[in-house]
Amino acid sequence: MISILLAISSFFLNPYRCCRRYFEKRGKPHLGIYGETPIPTLEQIVRLLQLSPQDTYVELGSGRGRGCFWVKRHIGCKVIGIEKNPYFIRIAKGIQKLTKIPVEFIQNDLFQQELLEGCAIYLYGTTLLDKEVEKIVRRLPSKCRIVTISYPLKGIPLKESIEVNFPWGKTEAYLHGR
């Protein structure tokens, strides 16, 4: 159902073009490279995070919400997607309304977002600059776990890394926690 709704939405709004144009207009073209985490890779990430129904899962840069909906349906925990692009938020909230899958989508800058103590975070932001990644680390709650793709974070203990697949190739997912 979600895949069908996303496919229909792609017909009206190409997510790759939409993301590129949105961030180009705001002078941050490096943030405009869109891509969605493949579901088998997300399954690995959820296992790495050891997500349980009692957790709060936060996706930083949740795009059209595909991953958030999947996590909600398969784990059943509280799920929050943070996304700056209002077009993606509109799509995600539209799907949420149609499917009644209770995921919370917040339109916000991930560099400004207050994060809940103890939450489990996923960040697929392979094009972020070092100084932007440092900014995220500075805002992390004192207790949390976070998975990043392609690079480990400095300033939060690294627990484990695994090999994962994306359409563009193999890379590592890094689990950090404190």
Q: How many residues does the chain have?
A: 178
The least distance separating ligand SAM from the CB of residue 118, rounded to whole angstroms, comes to 21
Comparing every residue's Cβ against ligand SAM, the nearest one is 61
Closest Cα partner for 167 from 41, 61, 70?
A: 41
Q: How many residues bind ligand SAM (CB under 6 A)?
A: 22
Q: Is residue 174 involved in binding ligand SAM (CB under 6 A)?
A: no
Q: Which is nearer to ligand SAM, 36 or 43 (CB)?
A: 36
The least distance separating ligand SAM from the CB of residue 31, rounded to whole angstroms, comes to 4
- CA-atom Rg of the chain in angstroms: 15
Q: Which is nearer to ligand SAM, 116 or 157 (CB)?
A: 116
Rounded Cα distance, 2 and 95, in Å:
7
Burial class (CB in 10 A: 0-12, 13-18, 19+), 113: middle
SS3 label, residue 130: helix
Q: Which is nearer to ligand SAM, 45 or 144 (CB)?
A: 45
- Report the DSSP beta bridge partners of residue 1: none
| Long-range own/partner contacts, residues 134-140 (CB < 8 A, 24 or more apart) | 135/111, 136/60, 136/110, 136/111, 139/111, 139/113, 139/114, 139/115, 140/115
Q: Which is nearer to ligand SAM, 13 or 157 (CB)?
A: 13
Range 110-139, binding ligand SAM (CB under 6 A): 110-111, 124-125
Range 30-89, binding ligand SAM (CB under 6 A): 31, 34-37, 59, 61-63, 66-67, 82-85, 88
Where does this chain bind ligand SAM (CB under 6 A)?
Answer: 19, 31, 34-37, 59, 61-63, 66-67, 82-85, 88, 109-111, 124-125
